[in-house]
Structure 1
């Protein structure tokens, strides 16, 4: 219960920051103004920080004595979506909005930083405040992790994601798989172009591509075991320019999501098989390219147990055993290196009209939870770095 009063004291500050970030969203790798605001706030708190590549910022709060080290991560980037919320602090940048909660993440971490900094003399160890860019396109994480490694690494890394499927007042910290791995792919189908009136003189890549799309998206239901989650999705098919021209090629863009290496390996093998054979059926050829991706977010048991004990201390938060989801997050890269967890903090509130999912033009968050998210970070950091803590 160390930070109950300070969380209430900083609530307006956190909400004001969230609204500023929401009003001024920036896309991945373009978070220049956002990172400048972060730096100015850290300067006001007299917290030292470093500016890294790709607009990432890492602040450092050092305790009175040596001890363990904790990294807390928040992402800062917005999405290329035209906002339709009608909020008084809606995006002032056409075609860009914070539709995933990253504005809240950044504000919560700054609020937590203020709380932790006030009690730093009571801590044994260090807290790294990691403000990361470009999470939406799987960027930024390596820059921050490389910096932490140059400092000798950390004992734990934690983060939280505001989540629209969970009711406000609930927080979910569970052991094991939290979010799926994700890998992108590109399939180029090569045919032979020509006039639409003479398909016999052409090799139609569009029909071959259509066949491939139907085949690969049926992998989870027809070609892989039903007891394990696996997603294969296609988000774009690009081909042709006019209705009477058969193009020479078509391109398919998509991805796979899995919680296991077995699922990922099986999906890749089947995508190659289906693409190559599906193209041959129409006399075409197919080339599959893996575009890279991010690992699963897998929470560490010991860290989760500590987090759940912290939740029990916060009377306004209730543990929600929300299921693992097939959405992905490059916080998984931190979890490959360090112990820790990602928490989901509920922001759904029907009474306030907050019912829209992440990445929706009307997405908004219940701002009442922001101070509790910041407090959760502060309570966890305090107990993790308190030499007398029994948690």
Structure 2
């Protein structure tokens, strides 16, 4: 079965919704204008329940099917990124320094499309819970919605989500059972030395050299402290120190990210990082403090849910367009919190050629919105068919 005919009928409406959302990007939990637009559309579709203000601006809408059954959760993220837009499109961001550079405008549109169809047809048993979530990029909005009780409050039994994927063929679906995306942590190293004149470094305790030593030594965690077949990334992404060419500063700051799948590897990294920071600080005669922030957990797909979702994807796009054993990647996703709470699956939907995610020239491909909406709708209809 290809794209659902009724969804194809209103694909131009979906493009209009998406381009409006693209023009009003909002960050983190402050998705007030976006949430208001979503809520207005949902009321117009005739959803049975509309619950607003979850995790500040999150929404859960309920559509009842015909007859008894479970509640299937479908999730879309709504937030944007603090990136100046450089697409040149007529519907570009009206909010300077913010843009939908990850396609969450498209994710929201696909779920709205599925909502409109499901509210019209109700060709399923049980219920569907439409989850519109803020703060995926920063803040862990999915985790906050789970903490605020949406899984129990709405009796959600399974949960599914899509993410667009530039570079994959248009309309293709990629996923895998088990781990699909990594856990993400953030580290901060604060170095306190003794500054002085650049011409008299012997009178200082130089935090610049200490920062360089620590940054280099942290890379040995990957190369020397973990098994080569275990996925691990340790990336130093910022070093800030100094002001002018002839002054040794007092302080330095190091920041970076860690990506893991195995909690034991994660714990090893935390322990080794503390040892390296303290050992290097002592060798340079400075003081240093490590702040290590454990953030989103690994995104782990339920095997049976992934098989089911892959079968639905094949109906929509054809067997040749579905890869159900993709190589896991080192990106991260806060949908992981929802998958910790309930079985489900996360899939990537190819959007063809174009700028990559988080790039100022990125733009969601409106042609794939009916594909994603059809997939989400058919997940509900196939999971809980009438009769």
Q: After alignment, is 144-153 or 185-194 more displaced?
A: 144-153
Q: After alignment, is 85-94 or 180-189 more displaced?
A: 85-94
Separation in 2 of the partners of 1:194 and 1:29?
Answer: 43
What TM-score comes out, normalization by structure 1 length?
0.93
* Secondary structure, counterpart of 1:290 in structure 2: strand
Q: Is the Cα contact below 8 Å between 1:160 and 1:343 reproduced in 2?
A: yes
1:1-391 matches, within 5 Å, as: 1=1, 4-47=4-47, 48-51=49-52, 52-120=54-122, 122-145=123-146, 146-151=148-153, 153-315=155-317, 318-320=321-323, 321-349=325-353, 354=354, 356-386=355-385, 388=387
Give the CA deviation at 1:206: 1.4
Give the CA deviation at 1:99: 0.7
1:57-91 Cα distance to aligned partner (Å, 9 max, x none): 11111223221111111111111111111122222
Give the CA deviation at 1:300: 0.5
Separation in 2 of the partners of 1:361 and 1:268?
Answer: 33
* Secondary structure, counterpart of 2:13 in structure 1: helix
Give the CA deviation at 1:247: 2.1
Alignment gaps of 5+ in structure 1: none
What TM-score comes out, normalization by structure 2 length?
0.94
Residues 371/3 of structure 1: CA separation in 2 closer, same or farther (3 Å cut): closer
Q: After alignment, is 35-44 or 238-247 more displaced?
A: 238-247
1:115-153 Cα distance to aligned partner (Å, 9 max, x none): 111222x32212111111111014211332223144164
Give the CA deviation at 1:252: 1.1
Q: After alignment, is 143-152 or 12-21 more displaced?
A: 143-152
Give the CA deviation at 1:41: 0.5
Give the CA deviation at 1:310: 1.0
Alignment gaps of 5+ in structure 2: none
Q: Is the Cα contact below 8 Å between 1:138 and 1:293 reproduced in 2?
A: no
Q: Is the Cα contact below 8 Å between 2:29 and 2:139 reproduced in 1?
A: no
Separation in 1 of the partners of 2:145 and 2:121?
Answer: 25
* Secondary structure, counterpart of 2:156 in structure 1: coil
Separation in 2 of the partners of 1:34 and 1:316?
Answer: 33
Give the CA deviation at 1:169: 2.1
* Secondary structure, counterpart of 1:65 in structure 2: coil
Give the CA deviation at 1:387: 5.2
Q: Is the Cα contact below 8 Å between 1:196 and 1:246 reproduced in 2?
A: yes
Give the CA deviation at 1:3: 6.3
Separation in 2 of the partners of 1:220 and 1:186?
Answer: 18
Separation in 1 of the partners of 2:7 and 2:129?
Answer: 20
Runs of 4+ in 1 over 4 A off after TM superposition: none
Separation in 2 of the partners of 1:218 and 1:16?
Answer: 50
* Secondary structure, counterpart of 1:200 in structure 2: helix
1:261-291 Cα distance to aligned partner (Å, 9 max, x none): 1221121122111111111111112211122
Separation in 1 of the partners of 2:366 and 2:327?
Answer: 24
Separation in 2 of the partners of 1:315 and 1:357?
Answer: 22
Separation in 2 of the partners of 1:221 and 1:170?
Answer: 35
Number of corresponding residues: 382
Separation in 1 of the partners of 2:169 and 2:270?
Answer: 36
**Aligned-CA RMSD value:** 1.7
Give the CA deviation at 1:187: 1.0
Q: After alignment, is 165-174 or 376-385 more displaced?
A: 165-174
Separation in 2 of the partners of 1:31 and 1:20?
Answer: 14
Give the CA deviation at 1:218: 3.6
* Secondary structure, counterpart of 2:258 in structure 1: strand
Separation in 2 of the partners of 1:152 and 1:83?
Answer: 37
Q: After alignment, is 195-204 or 140-149 more displaced?
A: 140-149
